[in-house]
Structure 1
């Protein structure tokens, strides 16, 4: 399977298969939100549209990057979501990088959104649903240079071929990334001291996350991935 690793500004065509990576923190947050009962996540292009979607759909919740703000129900922090109860709810998510990357490839026939938390299921989903197809990994952070996102993308790419690939070297890169340092130093608003550790947990959840167009919206949902093969991770 051929892989490309591109930043959002480098996307010049619609890929057949796209895997959008945001480790710290959008798609770690999305995975945690699904684990807490969220039914679907609507990816919003702007803060204003996120609020409008919430206002126009009673019962929907909204989440964004940064500090808590009027109209938003949550911030982009996995640690701050892990004790919430979102059973059956729809969450509108707007972030600086992850949601932007997903929307940039929304027309692709297959779009997965991923982080280390769902790395193995994402690799197995690719193996079962996109065997032999070229994969474009969208490295969302720092215009494609964020090492935590690139490390995760490369790790998933390797696990497509070999589910037993060791995570340690990739996690080391992510742990020493600029984003991890900024989170650890509490330089990013709307964060929690446990965020870095949660973002560096591998295969926390058993599902992959697929984005599709529903009623002119880009909607992210958990999808069932094949079980690990005998002897895999």
Structure 2
């Protein structure tokens, strides 16, 4: 499997397969939203679009980075989200980096969104696409976020070597700037357990696939294919 690791600004062409990585915290939060019952997640281009979608669909729940704000139901924190009942609901998510990265590759043939919590399921799906070139989009810090790069490299390695040990990759993520800022309370809209939750490996058994649906980029969970299943996509 041919792999590239690029920041959002470095994307110079539409990739065939893209894995958009945001460990702290967009795609950890997305996975928790699905675990709490969400049916789908709409990835919004702006806060204004998120609020407009919520206004058009009052039963949807809107989520953003930072502190609580009028019109938004939740903030981008796995620790705060894990006690919320989202059974059957649609979530609109807008974050600083994660959602931006997914929208930047919306025309790829396959877009996966990932963090450590869905690493194995993501890697298993990539194994079914072994002949493709895979672009890992490192969303944080203009492509320099070590937690995202570590996770991307781990998933890439695990896609070809299923027994890859996560320890060193998780250690790098735990020592990252983002982890430090979350732990120290530099960022707003944070729960004390957020870093720990973001560093859980394989907490959930599904991958997350984003596709265009009626001009919206929609993220949904998909059960990981079995190792013998190469016709899943």
Which residue in 1 is equivalent to 2:196? 197
Q: Secondary structure at the match of 2:85?
A: coil
Which residue matches 2:76? Answer: 76
Q: What's 2:231 paired with?
A: none
Question: How far off is 1:11 after superposition?
Answer: 0.5
Corresponding residue number in structure 1 for 2:222: 223
Residue 120 of structure 1: aligned partner: 120
Shift of residue 228, structure 1, vs aligned partner: 6.0
**What secondary structure sits across from 1:198 in the alignment?**
helix
CA distance in 2, matches of 1:19, 1:111: 6
Residues paired across the two proteins, number: 228
Alignment of 1:165-176 (within 5 A): 165-176=164-175
The reply to whether residue 179 of structure 1 matches residue 178 of structure 2 is yes
Deviations, residues 149-201 of structure 1 (Å, cap 9, x unaligned): 00000000000011110000000000000000000001100001100000000
Q: TM-score, normalised by structure 1?
A: 0.97
Superposition deviation, residue 131 in structure 1? 1.8
User: Secondary structure of the residue that 2:45 maps to in structure 1?
Assistant: coil
Match of 1:25?
25
Give the unaligned 5+ runs of structure 2: 229-233
Instruction: Encode CA deviations 1:90-130: one digit per residue, 9 max, x unaligned.
Output: 000000000000000001010000000000000001112x1
Cα distance, 1:228–1:195 mapped onto 2, change above 3 Å = farther
Q: Deviation above 4 Å: which 4+ runs of structure 1?
A: none
In the alignment, structure 1 segments of 5+ residues that lack a partner are: none
Please report the TM-score for the alignment, with normalisation by the length of structure 2: 0.97
After TM superposition, give the deviation of residue 24 of structure 1 in Å. Answer: 0.1
